């Protein structure tokens, strides 16, 4: 059963974790305190990570697709792909979520993983792949940070 979601949780930070042999990974305690313990996981559209989102974020996807301006047949395909690939996952009493085997295979998750906060959702990356992506994205981040005066 999901905990009360009266407090808005913001998934922030980067956390290195080891996945066990059953594909369980521990969620940072701060991400579970005052927030949901039930999530939906879906491989990212590029197949590079798992996107994990709480129910409110997951539930908003259909309306966001419908409002995207894409043609109706494309919206229907996107909704089918998104919800067809999504799997429900929930945190156990130790704060671990069990990731579906087929999703782990799809994004090459095994052994060392990195959980990356994304405010309203978080991502789970293969540790090696995250190191590459993070390094490649740093210039873009610096450019946008400068534009907004950060």
Residue 12 to residues 6, 55, 86, 108, 119, Cα–Cα distance (Å): 18, 18, 22, 23, 6
Q: What confidence score (pLDDT) does residue 34 get?
A: 80
Residue 101 belongs to a domain = yes
- Tell me how many domains the chain contains: 1
pLDDT tens, residue by residue, 10-67 = 899 999 999 999 999 999 999 998 888 999 999 999 999 999 999 999 999 999 999 9
110 in a domain, yes or no? Answer: yes
Q: Is residue 5 part of a domain?
A: no
- Please report, for the domain that includes residue 42, its CATH number: 3.40.1550.20
Residue 2 pLDDT more than 70? no
Q: Dump pLDDT digits (tens) for 70-109.
A: 999 999 999 999 999 999 999 999 999 999 999 999 999 9
User: What is the DSSP annotation of 86-107?
Assistant: -EEEEB-TTSEEEPPHHHHHHT
- 85 lies in a domain? yes
- At 9 the pLDDT is 78
Residues paired with 3 in a beta bridge: none
Judge whether 103 lies within some domain.
yes
Identify the pLDDT of residue 5.
42
15: tokens are 């956390």
Q: Is residue 2 part of a domain?
A: no
Does residue 4 fall inside a structural domain?
no
Cα 16 from Cα 25, distance rounded (Å): 10
What is the C-alpha separation between 16 and 30, in angstroms, rounded? 15
Across 139-144, average pLDDT: 90
Q: Is 1 part of a structural domain of the chain?
A: no
101 is in which domain, residue-wise?
14-147
pLDDT of residue 7: 53
What DSSP string describes 50-77? EEEE-HHHHHHHHHHHHTS---HHHHHH
């Amino acid at each position: 059963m999901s905990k009360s979601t009266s407090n808005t949780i913001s998934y922030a930070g980067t956390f290195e974790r080891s996945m066990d042999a059953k594909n369980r990974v521990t969620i940072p305690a701060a991400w579970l305190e005052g927030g949901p313990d039930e999530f939906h996981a879906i491989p990212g559209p590029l197949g590079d990570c798992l996107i994990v989102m709480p129910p409110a974020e997951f539930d908003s996807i259909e309306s966001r697709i419908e409002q995207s301006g894409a043609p109706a047949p494309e919206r229907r395909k996107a909704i089918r792909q998104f919800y067809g690939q999504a799997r429900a996952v929930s945190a156990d009493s130790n704060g671990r979520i069990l990731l579906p085997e087929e999703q782990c295979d799809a994004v090459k998750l095994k052994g060392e993983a990195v959980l990356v906060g994304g405010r309203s959702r978080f991502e789970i990356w293969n540790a090696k792949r995250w190191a590459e992506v993070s390094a490649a994205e740093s210039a873009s981040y610096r450019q946008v940070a400068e534009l907004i005066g950060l």
